[in-house]
């Protein structure tokens, strides 16, 4: 039940008319009427990828893929052989890939779930020049936005707290940075930092600011969970605060941000499906939860009609949250991680822990 980084994805800079449900809607939700998008078939557009957790789609269907397990940013043209655009050292994670106005944004990270030695935001322009935009780890070390959060068991009676193993004791946000999702609009890049548990903004000059800090994800401990994790009976019915782990960010109408999160803890279903979709006002940092109950929410895409598509990595499916707040399963996909809406098509990365692929899905 400890915190940790997670996989996440980006999406393109679309600005659909999106009018989602109010706070606290569940999965599935039952709100107003309206047509629910349906899956009409898929076509494989890229294959044999090593961890395609995040990717971007160009105007004509070309792809730029972050191959997380190969430490590589790869261009996949609509026809022809893939071309490596960036090769990191072994162990480098390449993620948070997005495309805007011909410029590809991506992030690199060196480290593991316990420590990080480098976390950078990078960009490749139309001419092929790659530059460092911002040092996200340096910002995290100086600001540590989620230091305001306390995770773990925080309200146990003293007698019960004394019985809880030290690893479940309360702790505040630690120094970590792991950028997993990005989107750029009008020169401003928003970053979903799964290590920092925050949404950041980075301007053209590389100035990093905190847009919002996601609050702890409170999960009620069941008797089954207490038994599984070797916890005393006194914690049953109590709340445990997980790290929220933002995995992706998209921009909707009026500049509102749409963010997926998953808990920094078990994703095997032992504590339920706790992934969520949120809307964030970038001017105030106000967070509204739109839908919950996703099994590993690793990415979000918005279509022009205002529907949001959420990849559920552990659920092996992609769900749709309509602009009216209905939540339905769009279709089954094996280990989906990244979702993008581009060129009137929904793109999904699949089999991300095996022989990875990206498919183009027809949605009507």
Distance CA 346, CA 115 (A): 35
pLDDT value of residue 1: 53
Q: Which candidate, 267, 318, 350, 289, places its Cα nearest to that of 310?
A: 318
DSSP secondary structure code for residue 136 in this structure: H
Residues of the chain with pLDDT under 70: 1-34, 267-269
Written as six digits, the tokens of 5 are 């980084």
H/E segment holding residue 226: helix 223-228
Q: Return the closest-CA partner of residue 334 out of 360, 320, 354.
A: 354
User: Domain ranges in the chain?
Assistant: 39-363
- Spatial CA neighbour of 356 closest among 31, 51, 145, 20: 51
pLDDT of 314: 94
Alpha carbon distance 153, 252 (integer Å):
35
Q: The pTM is what? A: 0.90
What is the Cβ-side half-sphere exposure of residue 59, based on CA atoms within 13 angstroms?
4
pLDDT of residue 24: 34
**116: β partners:** 111
Question: CATH for 39-363?
Answer: 2.120.10.30
Using one digit for the tens of pLDDT, what is the confidence trace for 171-200? 999 999 999 999 999 999 999 999 999 999
- Is 312 in contact with 297 (CB distance < 8 Å)? yes
Other Cβ atoms within 10 Å of 185 Cβ, number: 18
Instruction: Using CB atoms within 10 Å of the CB of residue 85, give its burial: 0 to 12 exposed, 13 to 18 middle, 19+ buried.
Output: middle
**pLDDT of amino acid 60:** 87
């Amino acid at each position: 039940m400890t915190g940790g980084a997670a996989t996440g994805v980006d999406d393109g800079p679309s600005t659909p008319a999106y009018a989602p449900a109010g706070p606290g809607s569940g999965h599935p939700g039952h709100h107003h009427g309206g047509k629910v998008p349906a899956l009409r078939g898929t076509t494989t557009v890229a294959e044999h990828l090593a961890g395609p957790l995040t990717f971007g789609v160009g105007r004509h269907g070309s792809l730029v893929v972050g191959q997380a397990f190969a430490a590589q940013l790869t261009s996949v043209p609509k026809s022809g052989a893939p071309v490596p655009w960036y090769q990191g050292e072994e162990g480098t994670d390449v993620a948070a890939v997005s495309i805007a106005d011909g410029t590809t944004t991506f992030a690199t990270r060196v480290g593991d779930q316990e420590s990080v030695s480098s976390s950078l935001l990078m960009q490749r322009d139309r001419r092929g020049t790659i530059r460092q935009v911002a040092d996200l780890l340096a910002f995290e070390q100086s600001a540590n936005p989620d230091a305001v959060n306390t995770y773990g068991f925080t309200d146990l009676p003293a007698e019960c707290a004394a019985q809880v193993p030290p690893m479940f004791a309360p702790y505040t946000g630690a120094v970590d940075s792991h950028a997993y999702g990005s989107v750029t609009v009008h020169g401003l890049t928003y970053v979903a930092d799964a290590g920092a548990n925050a949404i950041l903004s980075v301007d053209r000059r590389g100035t990093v600011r905190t847009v919002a800090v996601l609050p702890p994800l409170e999960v009620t401990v069941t008797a089954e969970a207490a038994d599984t994790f070797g916890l005393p009976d006194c914690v049953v019915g109590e709340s445990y605060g997980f790290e929220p782990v933002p995995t992706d960010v998209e921009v909707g109408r009026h500049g509102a941000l749409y963010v997926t999160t998953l808990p920094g803890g078990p994703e095997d279903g032992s504590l339920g499906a706790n992934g969520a979709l949120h809307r964030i006002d970038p001017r105030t940092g106000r967070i509204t939860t739109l839908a919950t109950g996703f099994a590993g929410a690793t990415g979000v895409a918005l279509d022009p009609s205002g529907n949001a598509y959420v990849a559920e990595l552990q659920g092996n499916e992609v769900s749709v949250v309509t602009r009216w707040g209905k939540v339905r399963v769009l279709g089954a996909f094996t280990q989906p991680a990244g979702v993008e809406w581009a060129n009137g098509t929904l793109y999904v990365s699949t089999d991300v822990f095996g022989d990875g692929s990206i498919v183009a899905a027809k949605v009507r």
